[in-house]
Structure 1
């Protein structure tokens, strides 16, 4: 590729305070880059997920352990309390130049879509004072399209006048090449499997030959066995309440290896359709998951549908006793109260247990958990979606963990159902990593469907692997946490479930020249 040694570019790793799949993908990228002959690595911004000191500590440890010289650029994620000082304390200046392996690397860190004038002046001084260098690469975090025309023009003009032909950028979590006169921008893919858009995550090997930057993207994934064990081999679906479990649904189950059926429980003792669905599902060897009605409360905490909830739980318990054969308790999915979050929580999302309304809500959940325990079912609290600016309780991980904590103090074993479509369609900008770090080891079920953060539409089929939801990231989280639970496709059954299953099964297809990350190994 090049007469000079290769170098690697690794972007948007998003290392967090607690170990996660991001650590494993960054470690694997550095290891493979070194094995492939890279003499150094450019870390093109957003190395950490936030500016917390523990995130920096974890990231520094990973870079140091690799044994590969690494040259980081600051990004927006490294800013803490509107200051780059924590980044500077850990990694040094936000702009610098270095000679390495025959290259002149210029790092021009950005924390937003602009470059301050003092950095541009510094850049011009460095270039003017240095003899022309054919092997110059400039790295910055933010891609140039979003810069103002003046800022973008100032940068590319300086580069053009002094012979800098290549600018490496990131931030958009996808790959794209753009020409600005004599200057080529190489926007590179994220290594974070929770964030990579349009393709698998990965890193890029680079080398300059005769003034041209050659790049080779190295995709990263997890093994088909892990995907199958933790995601595609655990799929289930949700038949609509007005449809019996007919032959077409049996065919779907056989064709895509579905293992679970989620029943929508209403509490109506004459609901023969759900009974037929339960009987047909268990005749096919499918396991049952129950989805209970939403508990209803007013803002004082008064429980408005106690009778319906009791009947629904009793109805599902009777179904399980008559039809299901389970090696363990069947999960029954229970919504948290759909109340405004500020009725039950402080401004940090913590449950205000001293409020009378909160005490009433907790006692209602104690009653429901007791009924469910008697009915041989496992309680799975499901997250809510906030689609309006006023947050709904259940839209943050702390909401669920605080409520389940109160129940655990009363000797109830509480788990979670993670609805990824609700997370993606919510106005709350929580990340999958935040949810998995908080509830992942206590998961009892997942709800899979697409969620649009702009229109807030949910329950559409899964049609893309690397779009709003990065399904590889979810599979990797499940594999790292060694979670094997029902993954219910909450989409229209006959068409939507088939399309979704086909899409997710593509994760098991081989990726040429990919690095496969063993996320099951304990970090460190």
Structure 2
């Protein structure tokens, strides 16, 4: 008996993303391997939409082996997928090759009374060796369901409990059963190893072996847009010290972001001159926020941004990084999608501030921001520019206000796209690659992980490995290699100095 598991892909509505590429590969690889059964153990879609579910079904329909599906929690986020996948989920069991496969629905994080009754009946019958295929691992089921399934496994021998959900791989013995979870196929979420699928083979006596089949994502990274290595860093601190550290590190790409406003401009210019005598340099300047004040219909930060633009031009910058305006999404729109007065006033402000720089050929790279964890996706609740369409609309508006429209683009912060409240699931990172990739003029690269003390997701942490948690960069490298995204400068934006140095070294090696 040979079984292939495909799990946790988190497919969106689009078919031009790394996740969509990974699914096509997984189906082709499964057909090449010709297993007795293919099982999809949930979260094949990212938000349970009808379009993503139909795309999944179209691909699954090309399998040459029998296949089964059990839903994950992501399939419950929208009713569309449930309607499309209803027929798939009706099949809860099958016997094949002398093995009884059972598919309890754990998509809600629990085992329902219906499934408990059904499993009790299965346990009482004289069946062949059993294998459970489901989404949730035992240890993350709610407490009562966890206790129930452990007791059931103790009474009714099961050779393997196969699940996903956690985005990492693990195997252990639970109540005499071999429980296996695999990291799944998502190029942006699978961690502790490459995304892929797993082949399980049953040997005489009921022992199962596991073979990981990694997705061979594209990995052709050079040349980049810059003549030198595209890898550098962004340091929030004293500009002079940033330039000195860049000289010491041997980097060609850097971004200045003053923390205090009393920096020494003349000394910074002198140090930059010395750096440029040593090697080619790509220099960006990260500007402060421009924040809308509703009560006065005014903009906070205009004067300081104007001053720093002048200082940056004195430094000979190649680009500015500036966030989208800091305003609620609802504040930018009136009725429907009609721009509110704030849109016009903010657009005039951006035009006035950056007009001379754009005429000089300096880039304006507009960065996406993020919502706090748990923020709903509706406009009334979230920040402007955290939704892809809004971000693009603002970039288009700013670019359209200049003759040199090609100088205005997107500064894509990968971590912000992941740590983005409900939108982090509704529009996965791969959708950002597909929709803004050709507009990107620079990147902020960092990791998002739970804080060691508070548990809250925090940005600007070090990337320990390509397959790190919470953002796996396999999808990024694939998109870069396929030129789905532009090959523009990569600024490592990690706050802690040693973490920043380690992450920069990692990406220097990757792009060497």
Which TM class, normalised by the smaller chain length? 0.7 to 0.9
- How many Å separate the matches in 2 of 1:395 and 1:316? 27
In structure 1, the partner of 2:378 is none
217-226 or 228-237: bigger deviation: 228-237
- How many Å separate the matches in 2 of 1:49 and 1:24? 15
Q: Residue 215 of structure 2 aligns to a residue in which SS?
A: strand
Judging changes above 3 Å, is the alpha-carbon distance between structure 1 residues 40 and 312 closer, same or farther for their aligned structure 2 residues?
Answer: same
Q: What CA deviation, in whole Å up to 9, does each residue of 1:394-437 have, x standing for no partner?
A: 33334422322333454544311112344455556524234334
- Give the TM-score of the pair, scaled to structure 1: 0.82
Query: Structure 1 residue aligned with 2:93, among 81, 93, 97?
Result: 97
Superposition RMSD in Å: 3.4
- How many Å separate the matches in 2 of 1:428 and 1:274? 41
- How many Å separate the matches in 1 of 2:325 and 2:206? 62
In structure 1, the partner of 2:447 is 450
In structure 2, the partner of 1:360 is 345
Query: Structure 1 residue aligned with 2:489, among 478, 486, 489?
Result: 486
In structure 1, the partner of 2:200 is 206
1:406 pairs with 2:397: yes
In structure 1, the partner of 2:14 is 18
How far is the alpha carbon of 1:124 from its aligned partner? Answer: 3.2
- How many Å separate the matches in 2 of 1:359 and 1:236? 35
- How many Å separate the matches in 2 of 1:21 and 1:477? 7
Judging changes above 3 Å, is the alpha-carbon distance between structure 1 residues 192 and 304 closer, same or farther for their aligned structure 2 residues?
Answer: closer
Judging changes above 3 Å, is the alpha-carbon distance between structure 1 residues 455 and 119 closer, same or farther for their aligned structure 2 residues?
Answer: closer
- How many Å separate the matches in 2 of 1:214 and 1:186? 11
- How many Å separate the matches in 2 of 1:138 and 1:82? 26
In structure 1, the partner of 2:462 is 461
**Correspondences of 1:206-225 after superposition (within 5 Å):** 206-209=200-203, 210-225=205-220
In structure 1, the partner of 2:253 is 260
- How many Å separate the matches in 2 of 1:337 and 1:16? 27
Contact between 2:135 and 2:163, CA under 8 Å: does it hold in 1? yes
208-217 or 218-227: bigger deviation: 218-227
Q: What CA deviation, in whole Å up to 9, does each residue of 1:24-57 have, x standing for no partner?
A: 1122233234334523311111111122221012
**Correspondences of 1:99-138 after superposition (within 5 Å):** 99-129=95-125, 131-134=126-129, 136-138=130-132
- How many Å separate the matches in 2 of 1:80 and 1:234? 38
Contact between 1:362 and 1:406, CA under 8 Å: does it hold in 2? yes
In structure 2, the partner of 1:152 is 146
Query: Structure 1 residue aligned with 2:232, among 229, 236, 248?
Result: 236
Contact between 1:267 and 1:312, CA under 8 Å: does it hold in 2? no
Judging changes above 3 Å, is the alpha-carbon distance between structure 1 residues 172 and 508 closer, same or farther for their aligned structure 2 residues?
Answer: farther
In structure 2, the partner of 1:383 is 368
Contact between 1:416 and 1:445, CA under 8 Å: does it hold in 2? yes
In structure 2, the partner of 1:477 is 479
- How many Å separate the matches in 1 of 2:24 and 2:500? 35
How many equivalent residue pairs? 487
Judging changes above 3 Å, is the alpha-carbon distance between structure 1 residues 445 and 281 closer, same or farther for their aligned structure 2 residues?
Answer: farther
- How many Å separate the matches in 2 of 1:507 and 1:94? 46
Structure 2 gap ranges (5+): 376-380
In structure 2, the partner of 1:338 is 326
